[in-house]
Amino acid sequence: MSDLPPRDDTDDLEGSIPIAPDRKPTGPWHIGPRDLPLPRDVSDELRESIAATPQPDPDEAGVPDDEDAVRALVADMDALAAEQVRALCDRVGATITPNVIGGVDVFHVSPATLDPRHEDHLFVYVHGGGFILNAGEAGAMEAIVIAHRIGIRALSIDYRMAPDHPLPAPVDDVSAVYRQVVSERPAAAVALGGSSGGGNLSTIAVQQAIRDGIDVPGALYLGTPGNDMSDVGDTLYINRGIDRAIPSHESYVNAVRFHAGGRELTDPMVSPVYESFEGFPPTFLVSGTRDLLLSATARTHTRIRAAGSIADLLVLEGVAHGDYGNPLNSPESRFTYAELNKFLLQHLS
């Protein structure tokens, strides 16, 4: 599937420019062992962080295929993440307050200093975590970073997740909160978005809003969105064993299957890249050259642009899946959220 413009039969340019005329076709390419040096044109903070990371093993067991094992894994990781969230709040002076909106648990995140330009704006945040991780406070980490770096109030959605709550539960929760929010304030003053699985759910929520005649947000943020959860995309193969966050498609596909609840992985409710992008709001996307989901991000960007909407894509050197926020004090991280802030100021009313 491609949303690129169709072939123009009136164009008098035909054929391909020969790349290697003396080579014979081989079908799939077999790439031999390679050495990957540390990235050079990146910050010292990012390079040192990568150097301190063991080489990813794409064949290492990822998310287990047993529900009880998943629950045990999630409980341990979410407890650690919640501790980190509380420590980050203390460090930056942010406050996080639980609430319920549209029948869904949420967290209000307020920065220590509110930028007056964002006085009337709200960032509705949808956390990542492979559709199984980051329940409760654990899901508010990037919302705190956004609130602090940008000086904007954020609302982090604690949506239901697999394996106990597969689709459509998480989509229903995100859509319920968004619809309640835009019933009380202009949608043009609301930003929506998140990273990874949160970018996936945010994309679907916008597609549903368009179908249902609900106003779209003034701006959409898609951080390395998991918008194709099938095995399609060049960088699933190019960056296999290179992405230090998710080393392979196999490492997370069991989580996606729990989330899908029996749907095919190319179903638009699982992989929204296969749905229409007509009528999308201005969208800011970010990824990196070592991101396993760079292809999914790039393809989403192309489809939004081909549908006639505004979309900006930031690709950072040496950055893996979600690594624009790791380490938090890196120039790459500060630059990413500064660029996001410029985009929000340009497009939120």
**Residue 57 class from Cβ within 10 Å (0-12 exposed, 13-18 middle, 19+ buried)?**
exposed
Give the integer Cα–Cα distance in Å for 319 and 326: 9
Predicted TM-score (pTM) of the model is 0.94
Structure tokens at 290: 């070592």
98 DSSP β-pair partners: 107
Using the 8-state DSSP alphabet, how is residue 18 labeled?
-
Chain-centroid distance of CA 337 in Å reads: 14
Query: Over its length of 349 residues, how does the chain's per-residue pLDDT go in tens digits?
Result: 566 666 666 666 666 666 666 677 778 888 888 899 999 999 999 999 999 999 999 998 899 999 999 999 999 999 999 999 999 999 999 999 999 999 999 999 999 999 999 999 999 999 999 999 999 999 999 999 999 999 999 999 999 999 999 999 999 999 999 999 999 999 999 999 999 999 999 999 999 999 999 999 999 999 999 999 999 999 999 999 999 999 999 999 999 999 999 999 999 999 999 999 999 999 999 999 999 999 999 999 999 999 999 999 999 999 999 999 889 989 999 999 999 999 999 999 9
- Quickly tell me which residue has 């894509």 as its tokens: 313
CATH superfamily of this structure's domain 56-347: Alpha/Beta hydrolase fold, catalytic domain (3.40.50.1820)
| pLDDT given for residue 230 in this prediction | 98
Other CB atoms within a 10 A radius of the CB of residue 116 amount to 8
Give the integer Cα–Cα distance in Å for 198 and 249: 17
At 297, the amino acid letter reads T
| pLDDT given for residue 26 in this prediction | 72
Residue extents of the structural domains in the chain: 56-347
| pLDDT given for residue 61 in this prediction | 83
